[in-house]
Amino acid sequence: MRRLLAFTLVAFACMGSTALAGDLTGKTVVIDPGHNGGNTSHHEITGKQVWAGTLWKDCDADGASTDGGYSEAQHNWDVAVLVRSLLQAQGARVVLTRQSNAGAGPCITRRAAIGNQQRADAAVSIHADGNLNTSDTGFHVILPADAGQSQRMLRRSEQLGIAIRNALRDQGPTSISNYIGSNGLITRSDLGGLNLSKVPKVFTEIGNMHAPHDAAAMTSSAGRQLEASAIAAGITNFLTSRRG
């Protein structure tokens, strides 16, 4: 109860600070809620092989879930909607890669293409991990490896990732990962959403859905608000920075 109360109190504080963080008028942000609620029953769609820039992969995946049955797909959708509202309140144009949590896909190739077609100033894919070791806990942000993207895209993606890492570290509901990455960051070359992106893009993995503390944060509306507020704050800091 104390932990959930703490989540609630900090969430309200973060909502206020994020709303005043910056003017995002004229900026386009693509938010990609990973997976989808219908993926588990539509493997004829999600099992299709697509080229992910460095390897062939399934079109999409089922995603993880907490021991209590709260799915990663639902979590990703719930947080994405909150992030959208926070960014729109600052004047940003926000595009989601899916419009509900009731379908299957879209494929990872399509998710990347949406960001490219929208010429997004920033794109963020929202996820959670499903490590079965319950002592593995904490968030990490995934940066793109060089898979043929422009050097500017790689540089700006790193800046975006650091901005979001800093915000999650300072005001998010989970600590920095104790089992993957370095100081909350990791670079990967196996994710089509990053390999195929032409715009600055990162993945967030807010924590391990099988770790009790992380699961409590994800299944709490206050914890999700903290997560969304931190992601929105990181995006805002990135978009309002003078770095090019």
pLDDT tens per residue across span 52-104 = 999 999 999 999 999 999 999 999 999 999 999 999 999 999 999 999 999 99
User: What is this structure's pTM?
Assistant: 0.92
Report the number of distinct structural domains present in the chain.
1
Residue 206: name the closest of 113, 27, 100, 83 by CA: 83
- Residue 98's domain comprises 27-178+190-240
In a domain, 132, yes or no: yes
Of the listed 72, 158, 205, 227, which one is catalytic?
A: 205
| Residue 169 near residue 233, CB atoms below 8 Å | no
In a domain, 81, yes or no: yes
- Predicted pLDDT at 119: 98
**Torsion region of 87: left, alpha or beta (phi above 0 gives left; psi -120 to 50 gives alpha):** alpha
Coil vs helix vs strand at 132: coil
Condensed to tens digits (0 to 9), the pLDDT of residues 213-234 reads 999 999 999 999 999 999 999 9
- Predicted pLDDT at 212: 98
In a domain, 18, yes or no: no
In a domain, 151, yes or no: yes
Amino acid at 227: E
In a domain, 135, yes or no: yes
What's the CATH code of the domain at 62? 3.40.630.40
In a domain, 13, yes or no: no
In a domain, 34, yes or no: yes
| Residue 183 near residue 176, CB atoms below 8 Å | yes
In a domain, 183, yes or no: no
Q: What average pLDDT is seen over the chain?
A: 93
- Predicted pLDDT at 8: 47
- Predicted pLDDT at 22: 84
Can 227 be counted among the known catalytic residues? Answer: no
Count Cβ neighbours within 10 Å for each residue of 50-70 and write b for 16 or more, e otherwise.
bebbbeebbbbbbbbbbeeeb
State what percent of residues in the chain have pLDDT above 90.
Answer: 89
